[in-house]
Structure 1
Amino acid sequence: MERPGYKKCTASTVLILMAILFLMTDVLLNRVGSNEKTLMYKPATKRVFHSVVDVDTVQPITGKFGSTQWRRYMPEIDDLLTKIEKNQVEWPVDIKLTTDPKNTAIVFGSSMQLQVGQKLKGTIQARDFKGREKQYGGDYFRGRLLRLDNKGNQLRDGVAVFIQDFYNGTYEWKTVVPWPGQCRLIVELVHSSEAVVELTLKRATLVNRNRGFMGKFANGKSSECDVMLRPTEGNSICDFSNATRGITWHCYKPPGLDTCPKSATTYSITTKDGTVLGSQPLFKKGVTWQTEILNSGLSFQVNGTIDEMPRGLMKCDTSKGSLRKNTFALKQPRGYFYQDRWVSMLCDNSKTSTLRECLKHKSLHLIGDSTIRQWYYSIQERLELQDTGHPNKDFWSMPRKGIGAKDDIYIYYTAHGNPLYNPGPPIVRPFIVDTLLSINGSRPTAVVLNIGGHFLCHDPAAFIQRVVAIKNAVMLLHERHPTVKFFIKGATRFTSSRVTPLSDWLYLRTDRILRAYFYDMPYVAHIDTWEMTFNPGEGLHAPTSTVEKFIDQFVSYFC
Structure 2
Amino acid sequence: MFTPSTRNSNPPANRLKHVLLLACFLCTLSWLALCVLNGGIQMRPFLPPGPKSVIQMNNSSFAISTLDMGISDEEWERLQKALDWPGPDQQITQLDLSTSPVHSTFSIVELKKSYKVGDNISVIITARDHNKNLKTYGGDFFKAKLFNSKLKASVYGEVVDHRNGTYSVLLLLPWEGQAQVFVRLEHSSEVVQILKKYRESSFPRSHYNGHFEGPGSKNTQISEVVECNLKWGPKGSLRKGKCCCEYKDIKTGIEWQCERPKKLSCDKLIGHSMGRFESPLNQFENHLFSG
- TM-score after normalising by structure 1: 0.34
CA distance in 2, matches of 1:181, 1:215: 58
Residues 75 and 216 (structure 1), Cα distance of their counterparts in 2 relative to 1, 3 Å cut? same
CA distance in 2, matches of 1:189, 1:141: 5
3-state secondary structure, aligned to 2:209:
strand
3-state secondary structure, aligned to 1:196:
helix
Q: Does 1:222 align with 2:225?
A: yes
Q: Does 1:235 align with 2:243?
A: yes
What is the aligned-residue RMSD (CA, Å)?
A: 3.2
Match of residue 84 from structure 2: 75
Match of residue 126 from structure 2: 125
CA distance in 1, matches of 2:226, 2:82: 36
CA distance in 1, matches of 2:165, 2:228: 42
1:135-194 Cα distance to aligned partner (Å, 9 max, x none): 211101122211143xxxxx4211112111122222111110011111111101111101
Q: Does 1:185 align with 2:181?
A: yes
Contact kept? 1:110, 1:120, Cα under 8 Å: no
Contact kept? 1:241, 1:250, Cα under 8 Å: no
* Unmatched segments (≥5 aa) in structure 1: 8-49, 54-69, 150-154, 289-559
Q: Does 1:162 align with 2:158?
A: yes
CA distance in 2, matches of 1:237, 1:231: 10
Match of residue 19 from structure 2: none
Contact kept? 1:199, 1:277, Cα under 8 Å: no
Contact kept? 2:212, 2:264, Cα under 8 Å: no
Match of residue 74 from structure 2: none
3-state secondary structure, aligned to 2:196:
helix
3-state secondary structure, aligned to 1:167:
coil
Residues 92 and 215 (structure 1), Cα distance of their counterparts in 2 relative to 1, 3 Å cut? same
Note the C-alpha offset of 1:100. Answer: 1.2
* Unmatched segments (≥5 aa) in structure 2: 1-48, 57-65, 70-78, 215-222, 232-236
Match of residue 135 from structure 2: 134
Match of residue 145 from structure 1: 146
Note the C-alpha offset of 1:270. Answer: 1.6
Residues 254 and 3 (structure 1), Cα distance of their counterparts in 2 relative to 1, 3 Å cut? farther
Q: Does 1:268 align with 2:268?
A: no
Q: How does 1:470-509 map to 2 (within 5 A)?
A: none
3-state secondary structure, aligned to 2:158:
strand
Contact kept? 1:110, 1:122, Cα under 8 Å: no
CA distance in 1, matches of 2:111, 2:121: 8
Q: How does 1:203-352 map to 2 (within 5 A)?
A: 203-209=199-205, 211-219=206-214, 220-228=223-231, 229-231=237-239, 235-240=243-248, 242=250, 245=252, 247-257=254-264, 260-261=266-267, 264-273=269-278, 279-284=285-290, 288=291
CA distance in 1, matches of 2:142, 2:98: 14
Contact kept? 1:195, 1:283, Cα under 8 Å: yes
Match of residue 108 from structure 2: 108
3-state secondary structure, aligned to 2:180:
strand
Q: Percent identity?
A: 24
1:44-74 Cα distance to aligned partner (Å, 9 max, x none): xxxxxx9547xxxxxxxxxxxxxxxx97552
3-state secondary structure, aligned to 1:245:
coil
3-state secondary structure, aligned to 2:147:
strand
3-state secondary structure, aligned to 2:195:
helix
Note the C-alpha offset of 1:265. Answer: 1.9
Residues 74 and 93 (structure 1), Cα distance of their counterparts in 2 relative to 1, 3 Å cut? farther
3-state secondary structure, aligned to 2:179:
strand
3-state secondary structure, aligned to 1:96:
helix
Residues 277 and 94 (structure 1), Cα distance of their counterparts in 2 relative to 1, 3 Å cut? closer
- Which amino acid counterpart does residue 181 of structure 2 have in structure 1? L
Residues 121 and 212 (structure 1), Cα distance of their counterparts in 2 relative to 1, 3 Å cut? same
Match of residue 94 from structure 1: 94
1:227-249 Cα distance to aligned partner (Å, 9 max, x none): 2232257623414255x525243
1:408-449 Cα distance to aligned partner (Å, 9 max, x none): xxxxxxxxxxxxxxxxxxxxxxxxxxxxxxxxxxxxxxxxxx
1:247-276 Cα distance to aligned partner (Å, 9 max, x none): 243223333456x43x84221212244798
Indicate the structure (1 or 2) with the bigger Cα radius of gyration: 2
3-state secondary structure, aligned to 2:137:
coil
Contact kept? 1:227, 1:250, Cα under 8 Å: yes
When structure 1 is superposed on structure 2, of 167-176 and 200-209 the one drifting more is: 200-209
